[in-house]
């Protein structure tokens, strides 16, 4: 599992195969390498193979790594729970924000941005307690308010289904997210992680967020 190059090749191949099953090209699915607890050196090895979209969910850790990787042309996605008081730092250092899940955060991001920034709305598709994600039932009211903000460009949805060892159990959640995308006319769907990304792709994912399948298991969990 420590062979980053071999892992990267294998994941890319699996993405292409799953995309073909959904009648799409592998190019239609963007691989976001999730690099929490991953060293800059390993990120470089993935980048050398063309994996240049990076997902981080911990701001401070991301900033340190970003600094040591400045020479690379990477695209940074913020994918973690975001406190409103961190909005400015995230705007300054990330290219995409995938975890917009409430109005005060959206407004704060909009105020701090001095350019249009692509965002995804993180949707909560289950009833389990979790600190992030907007309940699907609230999107109808929420979306027009966010699309009205001048600097946020709402491109789609992101979701994390409840964890299950059985990947197939994620499928109904992925399907639900795709239906919401169709309903609201938003093209991007960020869904699927190491254990269930092929199912997410079959259900229409346009971005998959993959950590352990690329870099091996993490020392500690977030
Ligand atoms: C850690 C994380 C991932 C990647 O998880 P893996 O199981 O390591 O692939 C994806 N999305 C989010 C929001 C994460 O925090």
- For 77-114, what is each residue's pLDDT tens digit? 999 999 999 999 999 999 999 999 999 999 999 999 98
| Residue 186 Cβ contacting ligand 1 at under 6 Å | no
Tokens for 103? 């109005």
Q: Which domain holds residue 52?
A: 4-215
pTM score, whole prediction: 0.96
Is 115 inside a domain boundary? yes
Atom from ligand 1 closest to the CA of residue 210: 9
CB atoms within 10 A of CB 118: 15
pLDDT at 136 over 70: yes
pLDDT digits (tens, 9 = 90+) for 164-181: 999 999 999 999 999 999
- How does the average pLDDT of the chain come out, rounded? 95
Nearest residue (by CA) to ligand 1, atom 12, is 79
Is 220 inside a domain boundary? no
pLDDT at 1 over 70: no
pLDDT digits (tens, 9 = 90+) for 52-62: 999 999 999 99
| pLDDT recorded at residue 11 | 98
Is 24 inside a domain boundary? yes
Give residue 206 CA to ligand 1 midpoint distance, Å. Answer: 16
pLDDT at 8 over 90: yes
Is 201 inside a domain boundary? yes
| Residue 212 Cβ contacting ligand 1 at under 6 Å | yes
DSSP string, 148-169: TSSSEEEEEEE--PPP-SSGGG
Is 221 inside a domain boundary? no
Tokens for 162? 């409840």
Is 51 inside a domain boundary? yes
Give residue 126 CA to ligand 1 midpoint distance, Å. Answer: 18
Looking at the structure of the chain, the number of domains it has is 1
Is 222 inside a domain boundary? no
Average pLDDT over residues 195-209: 98
Confidence class of residue 128 from pLDDT cuts 50, 70 and 90? confident
CATH code, domain with 120: 3.20.20.10
Contact 177, 157 (CB under 8 A): yes
pLDDT at 142 over 70: yes
Rounded Cα–Cα distance for residues 207 and 184 (Å): 18
Helix then strand then coil, in percent of the chain rounded to 5, is 45, 20, 35
Is 91 inside a domain boundary? yes
Give residue 192 CA to ligand 1 midpoint distance, Å. Answer: 9
CA angle (207, 211, 217) in 5-degree steps: 160
Instruction: Using the structure block, give the residue that is written with the tokens 């992680």.
Output: 193
């Amino acid at each position: 599992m420590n062979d980053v190059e071999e892992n990267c090749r294998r994941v890319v191949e699996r993405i292409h195969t799953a995309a073909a099953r959904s009648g799409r090209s592998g190019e239609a699915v963007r691989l976001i390498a999730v690099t929490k607890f991953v060293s800059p050196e390993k990120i470089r090895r993935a980048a050398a193979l063309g994996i240049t979209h990076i997902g981080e969910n911990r701001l401070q850790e991301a900033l340190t790594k970003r600094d040591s990787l400045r020479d690379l042309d990477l695209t940074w996605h913020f994918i973690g729970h975001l406190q409103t008081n961190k909005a400015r730092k995230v705007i300054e250092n990330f290219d995409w924000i995938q975890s917009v899940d409430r109005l005060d955060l959206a407004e704060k991001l909009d105020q701090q941005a001095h350019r249009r920034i692509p965002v995804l709305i993180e949707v909560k598709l289950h009833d389990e307690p979790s600190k992030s994600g907007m309940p699907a039932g609230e999107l109808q009211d929420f979306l027009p308010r966010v699309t009205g903000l001048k600097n946020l460009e709402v491109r789609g949805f992101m979701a994390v289904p409840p964890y299950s060892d059985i990947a197939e159990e994620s499928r109904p959640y992925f399907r639900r997210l795709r239906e919401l995308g169709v309903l609201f006319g938003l093209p991007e769907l960020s869904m699927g992680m190491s254990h269930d990304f092929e199912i997410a792709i079959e259900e229409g994912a346009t971005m998959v967020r993959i950590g352990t399948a690329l870099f091996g298991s993490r020392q500690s969990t977030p």
